[in-house]
């Protein structure tokens, strides 16, 4: 027999959006139940210094910030459960959700804050050598390649940030950029361009990650000249963006073409009454910890209003 939990507010996800929603919902006496998902703390757990979250004048480490948020949510009585919600059923009255640990949850309202996951290039060699030198998290795995040569693919803020991080550990970081320009913000671009440990390969694509048992190198192709070349590296990092974790809502909630949840203007309401979306799962534009926290707050306030109107709070 599975356990059935009845709650006014189920929160799915434990990044800045989920924990902020929990803080607001708990303080509004909604007794929220929060399921962390498979990566408690979300993407900030794989970040080092967060320097742009207001209130931390000296910066804060991502994992530390998430621990602080978790403690703050717990302090007001959030029931935090370390499992993944893998199925939902929405209905007019009571929504149902099912967790991997066998829990069944019946909720008057649901706040979705499932975040996003790293994207991969899709090469066979990348898959085969995953965790054997191929990584989507420089901050988690960079340490293993201290003093060695590494490569990183991507040209957004993530790639620039991770390249700078790797350059503190590694004497040579090859940054593989597929165009002749970078998408990263000016300040981040300047940091990588001016870093003597970072070599930028413009107009370059990865043909293959080389190595049998572990990464030994990368074969690159210049997409202007067609020329191929090989570089010897021990670590191969991919930082090419993210995919929202919204698969379990397909066919139930409105999404855009990239699978981000669609919310109504100036609100966190989805197309299903009582279901609200916050954080990176619904934000393809800003995707910052502070904006995720902001929409988490909005979702809790929207959920509270919804429960009041329904007479459930």
297 assigned to active site: no
- CB neighbours of residue 259 within 10 Å: 16
Least distance to ligand NDP, CB of residue 180, Å: 10
Nearest residue to 66 via CA among 83, 50, 85, 79: 50
Catalytic residue among 49, 103, 117, 137: 137
Distances (CA, A) of 73 to 50, 124, 207, 212, 266: 20, 42, 46, 46, 25
Task: Give the count of residues interacting with ligand NDP (CB under 6 A).
Answer: 17
Nearest residue to 35 via CA among 68, 5, 11: 11
Q: How many residues does the chain have?
A: 313
- CB neighbours of residue 3 within 10 Å: 10
Q: How many Å is the maximal CA-CA distance in the chain?
A: 67
Distance CA 65, CA 283 (A): 21
Residue from the set 154, 217, 244, 279 that interacts with ligand NDP by CB under 6 A: 154
Least distance to ligand NDP, CB of residue 223, Å: 10
Contact between residue 19 and residue 66 where contact means Cβ atoms under 8 Å apart: yes
9 assigned to active site: no
Nearer to ligand NDP, 112 or 160 (CB): 160
Site membership for ligand NDP, residue 20 (CB under 6 A): no
Stretch that binds ligand NDP, among 25-33, 88-96, 239-247, 260-268 (CB under 6 A): 239-247
Instruction: Name residues contacting ligand NDP, limited to 208-227 (CB under 6 A).
Output: none
Tokens of 207: 């043909």
Nearer to ligand NDP, 150 or 240 (CB): 240
Nearer to ligand NDP, 219 or 313 (CB): 219
Least distance to ligand NDP, CB of residue 278, Å: 16
Catalytic residue among 140, 247, 254, 256: 140
x/- letters, 269..288, toward ligand NDP (CB under 6 A):
------------------x-
Nearest residue to 272 via CA among 116, 114, 106, 94: 94
Nearest residue to 43 via CA among 182, 303, 241, 273: 241
Least distance to ligand NDP, CB of residue 240, Å: 4
Active site residues: 137, 140-141
Query: Which positions lie near ligand NDP, rule CB under 6 A?
Result: 52, 121, 153-159, 161, 178-179, 183, 240-242, 287
């Amino acid at each position: 027999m599975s356990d059935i939990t009845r709650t006014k507010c189920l929160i799915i996800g434990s990044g800045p959006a989920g924990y902020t929603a929990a803080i607001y919902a708990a303080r509004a006496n909604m007794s929220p139940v929060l399921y962390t998902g498979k990566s408690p703390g979300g993407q900030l757990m794989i970040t080092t210094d967060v320097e742009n979250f207001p209130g931390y004048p000296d910066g804060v480490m991502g994992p530390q910030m998430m621990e602080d948020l978790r403690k703050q949510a717990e302090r007001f009585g959030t029931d935090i459960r370390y499992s993944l919600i893998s199925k939902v059923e929405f209905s007019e009255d009571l929504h149902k959700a099912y967790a991997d640990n066998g829990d069944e949850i019946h909720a008057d309202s649901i706040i979705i804050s499932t975040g996003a996951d790293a994207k991969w290039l899709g090469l066979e060699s990348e898959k085969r050598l995953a965790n054997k030198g191929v990584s989507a998290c420089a901050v988690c795995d960079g340490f293993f390649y201290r003093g060695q040569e590494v490569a990183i693919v991507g040209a957004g803020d993530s790639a620039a940030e991770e390249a700078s991080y790797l350059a503190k550990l590694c004497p040579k970081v090859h940054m593989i950029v597929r165009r002749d320009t970078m998408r990263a913000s000016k300040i981040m671009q300047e940091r990588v361009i001016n870093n003597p440990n970072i070599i930028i390969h413009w107009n370059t694509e990865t043909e293959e990650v080389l190595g049998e048992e572990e990464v030994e190198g990368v074969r690159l192709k210049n997409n202007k000249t067609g020329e191929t070349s090989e570089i010897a590296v021990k670590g191969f990092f991919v930082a090419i963006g993210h995919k929202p974790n919204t698969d379990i809502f397909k066919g139930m909630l409105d999404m855009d073409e990239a699978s981000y949840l669609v919310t109504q203007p100036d609100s966190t309401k989805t197309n299903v009454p009582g279901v609200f979306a916050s954080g990176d799962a619904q934000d393809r534009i800003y995707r910052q910890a502070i904006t995720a926290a902001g929409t988490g707050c909005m979702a809790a306030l929207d959920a509270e209003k919804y429960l009041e109107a329904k007479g459930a709070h």
